[in-house]
């Protein structure tokens, strides 16, 4: 049984973060790219440019105090290693429109992992376990819940439909919060969605509970849309305003836009002609219905 603890674990893949920044001409690999960061606890200050592998790190986040066969010490790192190395290539293929089924499976593994990878999962799991058992859980109980939730979230993914969401100039680039996603709700159509930014130019939008009988979510996204500039600004504001995040990460050339991000509140108003270029769909999730 592996008893080693991973030093300085990332709760967002460093190579993913790098896709939102400027590549380093001296070192290959997205983890060495330079990004800009704005923290919720210091909203008036921008940090950076900072190297991607120096962001979204928290010591001890996935530590197991008493490992056993079902919960080894490296359980979390083993999960992340299933997709991290291949993630930059899969994102590039999705952006280029040349992705394969295998590339899409890597994207799905990333989406699955972000449901439990954030430090905020500990808060949510603690509250849940207290409700279930009436006592404050030990750290290993939280890690077991992290492991169980990751396993069960695949069913959650299978009940959704997916779209590739693109950015085109002059719209802002996507920003990334430290949870790796942001949520939307359309009360008129009774639909909910999660947006997973994958680079400054690309995201995947997940429409929850919209899958039709017989559909296979592993086949790939069913639609492709390009956000117009006004809706891109709204999406980035929602990333900044997402509950219990620590920061947003973006391109150093867009310092002014990142500094100007503000909370949207509970309700947002999309442009009258809709959120996407070239369509008149009034909502963000109409393509899934």
pLDDT string in tens for the chain (289-residue length): 445 556 689 999 999 999 999 999 898 888 999 999 999 999 999 999 999 999 999 999 999 999 999 999 999 999 999 999 999 999 999 999 999 999 999 999 999 999 899 999 999 999 999 999 999 999 999 999 999 999 999 999 999 999 999 999 899 999 999 999 999 888 888 899 999 999 999 999 999 999 999 999 999 999 999 999 999 999 999 999 999 999 999 999 999 999 999 887 666 788 888 999 989 899 999 999 9
DSSP letter (8 states) at residue 202: E
Q: What is the DSSP letter of 49?
A: E
Q: What pTM, to 2 d.p., does this model score?
A: 0.94
- pLDDT score recorded for residue 187: 84
Q: How far is CA 141 from CA 3, 64, 84, 138, 147, in A?
A: 17, 9, 26, 5, 10
**Do 202 and 165 contact (CB within 8 A), yes or no?**
yes
* Assigned token pair, 41: 């606890």
pLDDT of residue 189: 86
- Predicted confidence at residue 272, as pLDDT, reads 86
Cα(260)–Cα(263) distance, integer angstroms: 10
Helix (H) or strand (E) holding 165: strand 161-166
Q: What is the DSSP letter of 247?
A: E
The predicted structure's pLDDT at residue 273: 86
Residue 266 is predicted with a pLDDT of 62
The pLDDT value given to residue 280: 85
pLDDT score of 1: 46
Count of CB atoms situated within 10 Å of the CB of 259? 13
């Amino acid at each position: 049984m592996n008893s080693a603890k991973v030093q300085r674990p990332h709760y967002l893949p460093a190579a993913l973060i790098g896709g939102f920044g400027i590549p380093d001409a001296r070192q290959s690999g997205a983890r060495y790219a330079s990004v800009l960061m704005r923290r919720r606890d210091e909203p008036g200050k921008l940090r950076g440019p900072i190297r991607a592998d120096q962001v979204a790190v928290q010591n001890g986040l996935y530590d197991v105090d008493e490992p056993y066969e079902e919960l080894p010490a490296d359980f979390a790192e083993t999960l992340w290693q299933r997709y991290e190395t291949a993630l930059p290539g899969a994102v590039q293929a999705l952006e280029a429109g040349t992705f394969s089924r295998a590339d899409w499976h890597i994207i799905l593994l990333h989406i699955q992992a972000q449901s439990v990878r954030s430090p905020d999962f500990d808060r949510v799991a603690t509250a849940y376990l207290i409700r279930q058992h009436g006592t404050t859980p030990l750290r290993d109980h939280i890690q077991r819940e992290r492991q169980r939730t990751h396993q069960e979230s695949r069913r959650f993914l299978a009940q959704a439909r997916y779209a590739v969401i693109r950015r085109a100039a002059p719209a802002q680039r996507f920003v990334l919060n430290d949870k790796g996603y942001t949520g939307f709700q359309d009360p008129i159509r009774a639909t909910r969605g999660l947006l997973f930014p994958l680079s400054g130019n690309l995201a995947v939008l997940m429409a929850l509970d919209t899958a039709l009988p017989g559909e296979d979510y592993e086949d790939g996204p069913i639609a492709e849309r390009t956000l117009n500039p006004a809706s891109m600004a709204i999406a980035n504001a929602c990333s900044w305003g997402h509950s219990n995040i620590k920061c947003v990460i973006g391109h150093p050339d867009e310092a002014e836009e990142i500094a100007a991000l503000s909370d949207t509140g509970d309700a947002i108003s999309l442009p009258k002609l809709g959120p996407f270029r070239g369509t008149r769909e009034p909502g963000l999730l109409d393509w899934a219905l």
